[in-house]
Structure 1
Amino acid sequence: MFFIQLYGKQLQKKWKSLLLLFVFPVFLVSIVAFIIVTFISPTSDSSINVAIVDEDDTEETRMIRSFLQTSFSQDGYIELIVMPQEEALKKIEENQIVAYIKLPKTFTDSMYQGAPLTVPIVGNSKRPSESYIVKELVESLTKYIESAQANILTVYDYARKTEMSDSDFQTYRYNAFIEFTLFTLAKDQLVKEEVITNIATSSPANYFALSGWFIAISIWFFGFYELLKREEHPAILHRLHLFGVTPWQYSISRIIVSMICSILLAMISFTILMRVLDIQLYGIDYLRIFQYVFLYGLLLVVGLTIIEVWIKSMKLSLLLQILFLLIVMITSGSIFPSIYLPMSIQQFLPLIFSNEVFSWMVDIVLEERNYAEFASLYIKAIMGLVVLWASTVVKKRWT
């Protein structure tokens, strides 16, 4: 209690620094968020242009072309254009189309005879990911056509055993092709859709406002903790030890004071932010956010304290603390959304406390998640406090 009161009086004397500590993160985050939103916001024209080259040009291929154009136009993301091969190659060189699909001259005959179907695809090397999407589309198309082939060949086999004339057989064959092909293509989706919502692009203003607030509270936790730093003379520390004061006592009191001030500022600013963004949250949601802020701040400040316990040099300690703060904020997904980080890093992100906290905050505030999980964070917080306590005991005996 003595050290808590001492640190409280120390903060009162530094009210000018407290004002700067409050204004600086808000100003910095506002500028950075504006720049990031400008670059990450999706463009209005995001359709994939694909050409189809029909060298067979039969009634059957024209029907398939028409069906594909209708199917893709309803989706709105893929536009299928019929053109000659020379024009398609030219448009790929000019980066106007993603790829072109070629229906070879033997397409219809191969389909009627039950021969394997080969549909060549020429992709745009400048747009590999979109070309891969076209490849998946064509593979899905050929699987459906092969399924229709099996049914068509069965009907043909029985039709040939009848006394049907050649003209009637050709008409029957064409009608059977239309019936089975349309049935097979239309009975299910041509492409299985999996919707992945990237909240950073679907709702950039709200997302980056929340991430800006998260960055601000990180700076506030760090700033309040550093404002309470005192370089005591070795003689004073020796006297404190003679009175039975341990490093754990004044470390934990410094953590308590910085936590109280930071959490108070964080929750007030969060409430204001929700009013500005016009996001309606229930009282239980504010309690969940409060717990996440508390656990995040505790783990962050405990990490800063452990560095300070083991590093004697104040300058080196401050440098490592700043580096720790930057790593925590970058891996949280608040500065750069996690989806834009390298895949090798993404698999380890759920293990980092800052990423877990920010992900839950996004789910609660922006995706209306009505439950929360705190067990792993509480375990990490307890482990952090145990490591800090052990560090102070070992360091005291070592000294």
Structure 2
Amino acid sequence: MKTLKHIFVFLANDINRMKRKWLSLPLIYISPLIFVSLVIWMASLLFSPDEEAPVSVGVVNLDDSDETQEMVSLLVEATDVAEGLKLEGLEHEEASEQIENDDIAAYIVFPPEFFTKMIQGEESRLEVVGNPNRVLESHVVNEVIETVVRHIRSSQANILTINHYAENFGMDADQRNELMLNQFISFFLQTLSSDTMMDESESAHHMSTGYEYFIINGMFIIISIWVLVTHLALVQDVRQQLRNRMRMFGATYIAEGTAKTLLTFTVTVLMSILFLYIVTKIDGLYIVGENFVRVSVLMGLYITALALVLLLIDWVIPSFKAALLVKAAVLFSVLLFAGALIPRIYFPIYFETIFDFSFSYQALNWIEEIMLGSRFSFELDVLLISIIVLSVMLIAAGLWKERRVR
């Protein structure tokens, strides 16, 4: 109860401090909105693809097996993989050269032993190399190939089941391999020509919607800046006399930090929900009520995690100016590894782990999936784990600061 009382005292003080800035704060919140909106508008004009011209995509096969060559031939010859894509088989050097000459938007690489790993039940990923001069088209290709891979893995599960029962019935290895190949090619061909494949591709490569993609990324950047602005408004010009007085009554850094995190969360979430409501009124971005709640939850968790990161920096670095520089650098990194500034496809392969464990990437990725891909599910594991880890680190930092003061 005593800790809660201290939290409410800090909350009341922070609210009063923000009220005194009622004239300047709205201008500070509106400024990034105007600036980012202009940048997004110009980016959507520059990077929106020509709808009439098909997107040229290369297909590189590094697997020498006859099975993979047959699959690649089927993929190149298929006309129903995705509307507006033109696939052509290329050598690896030729594909790299055409990327440099801006002749193709991207190329797909079938790695060595692709089919062998698939038959053995191992994961074998297709690599998509994008063209830095064609951001939007490269994203379309990446989303379509992810759709193809999902269908391949589904076929893989079916084939392994057939192999299991064939082995139990006493069929020899050569006959089983031939049976699996025929069934796999049959499933693969059926996948490429199915209406389900077309529907899933159209819903998956939401980058082709053009300006909607840039609006969502811009919204994510603006919300991130709002978190930083709100945090700075709360930690700037805090009177040391008040802190000393509160320490005399047993108040802790943890209580003060909790109050600042709660207020940062409340202010930013309210503005974000209002902003999201306005964004969803734009044609092509309508989402149903339950998905509106899902996006709001993702935003709320992301805002919480980012607010905890900023508060941790504030506690670890005593100098306000030095902390401000670090916060700006961290915010840039958070947005960078969310894919909001540079799409994930353009990062080297060794950055994949960073994206996989980035709470900002999980938030933005699922917001895009829900708003542009009409998904009715989302994952929160990375976000929740990040919040728990950051909370533990803040508690440890708060206890450490308490001991230093004593």
Q: Give yes or no for TM over 0.5.
A: yes
Deviation at 1:367, TM superposition (A): 0.5
Match of 1:126 in 2: 97
Match of 1:391 in 2: 397
| Paired residues for 1:23-42 under 5 Å | 23-42=30-49
Deviation at 1:319, TM superposition (A): 0.7
Question: Which shifted more, 293-302 or 225-234?
Answer: 225-234
Question: CA 1:79–1:279 in structure 2 vs 1: closer, same or farther (change >3 Å)?
Answer: closer
Deviation at 1:244, TM superposition (A): 0.6
Match of 1:265 among 271, 284, 289: 271
Question: CA 1:239–1:373 in structure 2 vs 1: closer, same or farther (change >3 Å)?
Answer: same
Question: TM-score, with normalisation over the residues of structure 1?
Answer: 0.64
Deviation at 1:259, TM superposition (A): 1.1
Match of 2:165 in 1: none
Which ranges of structure 2 fall in alignment gaps of 5 or more residues?
1-7, 59-73, 111-184
Match of 1:64 in 2: none
- How many angstroms apart in 1 are the aligned matches of 2:269 and 2:398? 25
Match of 2:358 in 1: 352
Would you say 1:367 and 2:373 are equivalent positions?
Answer: yes
- Which amino acid letter does the alignment assign opposite residue 254 of structure 1? K
- Which amino acid letter does the alignment assign opposite residue 358 of structure 2? I
- How many angstroms apart in 2 are the aligned matches of 1:316 and 1:373? 35
Match of 2:315 in 1: 309
Would you say 1:378 and 2:349 are equivalent positions?
Answer: no
- Which amino acid letter does the alignment assign opposite residue 8 of structure 1? I
- How many angstroms apart in 1 are the aligned matches of 2:300 and 2:26? 22
Q: Secondary structure at the match of 2:23?
A: helix
- How many angstroms apart in 2 are the aligned matches of 1:122 and 1:346? 24
| Paired residues for 1:58-73 under 5 Å | none
Q: Secondary structure at the match of 1:31?
A: helix
- How many angstroms apart in 2 are the aligned matches of 1:241 and 1:186? 73
- Which amino acid letter does the alignment assign opposite residue 380 of structure 1? S
TM-superposition CA deviations, 1:180-209 (whole Å, max 9, x none): xxxxx99996x9799977746411211111
Match of 2:217 in 1: 211
Match of 2:246 in 1: 240
- How many angstroms apart in 2 are the aligned matches of 1:298 and 1:134? 38
- Which amino acid letter does the alignment assign opposite residue 313 of structure 1? S
Q: Secondary structure at the match of 2:286?
A: coil
Number of matched pairs: 296
Whether the 8 Å contact between 2:57 and 2:107 is mirrored in structure 1 is no
The structure having more radius of gyration, on CA atoms, is: 1
- Which amino acid letter does the alignment assign opposite residue 353 of structure 1? F
Question: CA 1:327–1:122 in structure 2 vs 1: closer, same or farther (change >3 Å)?
Answer: closer
Which ranges of structure 1 fall in alignment gaps of 5 or more residues?
51-67, 81-97, 100-119, 137-184
| Paired residues for 1:216-227 under 5 Å | 216-227=222-233
Deviation at 1:36, TM superposition (A): 2.4
Question: CA 1:133–1:348 in structure 2 vs 1: closer, same or farther (change >3 Å)?
Answer: closer
Identity of aligned residues (%): 22
Larger RCO: 1 or 2 (CA < 8 Å, sep 6+): 2
Question: CA 1:14–1:123 in structure 2 vs 1: closer, same or farther (change >3 Å)?
Answer: closer
Deviation at 1:371, TM superposition (A): 1.4
Question: CA 1:25–1:47 in structure 2 vs 1: closer, same or farther (change >3 Å)?
Answer: closer
Deviation at 1:15, TM superposition (A): 1.3
Question: TM-score, with normalisation over the residues of structure 2?
Answer: 0.63
Would you say 1:12 and 2:19 are equivalent positions?
Answer: yes
